[in-house]
Amino acid sequence: MGKTAFLFPGQGAQAVGMGNDFREVYSASENIFKEADNRLDYDLTKLIMNGPMETLTKTENTQPAIVTASVAVLEALREKGITADYTAGHSLGEYSALVASGSLSFSDAVYAVRNRGLYMEEAVPAGEGAMAAIMGMDREELQAIVEDVSETTDTVQLANLNSPGQIVISGAKAGVEKASEVAKEKGARRVIPLQVSGPFHSILMKPAADKMSAILDSITISDATVPVIANVSAEPSTSAEEIKNNLLQQIYSPVLFEDTIRKLMELGVDRFIEVGPGNVLSGLVKKVNRRAFVHAVSTPEQLDQLVEKLGEE
């Protein structure tokens, strides 16, 4: 029997109504929504359930909303006795992973990401930053392009190393546009400008990390009981001090997601369970390892299917 990892989604997975069916079926899931409203002092549940999507997609709302919906699903998994040997999240999802690993309480996590969203939103004036997905180019070649463009045009860097041939770049608008152009010239299969409100995971986010430091000082970060694979290093971590530093660096550093999946496989994980809205991460895992057992849980039906599959093993 191999090991199991829980994976938690980041920004972009949001949908109006996410987690609602878990609220109706599991009282532990419903309590998570209530706890979010209490800690944030506004009706996040109402926004998640009714939208509008435009308001839900604002970074300061999306971040607590996705963590809430993800942890609501996690509670249902716990109720079914499904546990993980490791956890990991994509960017924002690292906070959900830390809740699953016992390092953060849900209440502190939802409070932290609400502020993280606000600070990331404030870090760069609208329109000055950009992000783009570059498809079909290897990371060494793209790294050389962004280094060159950063020196000659404006700052741009690798932001999300998602899977082989899918890398997101981030930085100043001019830098991202120029790097996109050069990548196309040098044979990238596709370049897709992303509809985002800021240059996330670039050095331009450093002011957000500086402000976030005080928030992380104000909450309780404990040693994790289940190792978390950090976005910034793709290495397992359980130390509270290290976790805190990782969360600060994560704001302006690349998300090493492909490396995270490879590290989990090295550690003997062959079962990946995506916990929360959407199934983007499941797709990324499959690009790294076609043969892995991958199951996304964003509805109670999918949870029942998972219980059934695990029962057959």
* Ordered DSSP codes for 188-224: -SEEEE---SS-TTSGGGHHHHHHHHHHHHHS-----
Active-site entry in 29, 70, 90, 91: 91
91 is catalytic: yes
Omega into 52 within 30° of 0, i.e. cis?
A: yes
Q: Could you give the 3-state DSSP secondary structure of residue 260?
A: helix
| Angle made by CA atoms 240, 243, 113, in degrees to the nearest 5 | 115
Active-site entry in 90, 201, 253, 282: 201
Query: Cα–Cα distance between 159 and 271 in angstroms, integer?
Result: 26
201 is catalytic: yes
Measure CA of the first residue to CA of the last residue in the chain; give whole Å.
9
Query: Cα–Cα distance between 123 and 139 in angstroms, integer?
Result: 27
Query: Cα–Cα distance between 154 and 217 in angstroms, integer?
Result: 33
Q: Show the tokens assigned to 186.
A: 């040098």
> Which residues are known to be catalytic?
91, 201
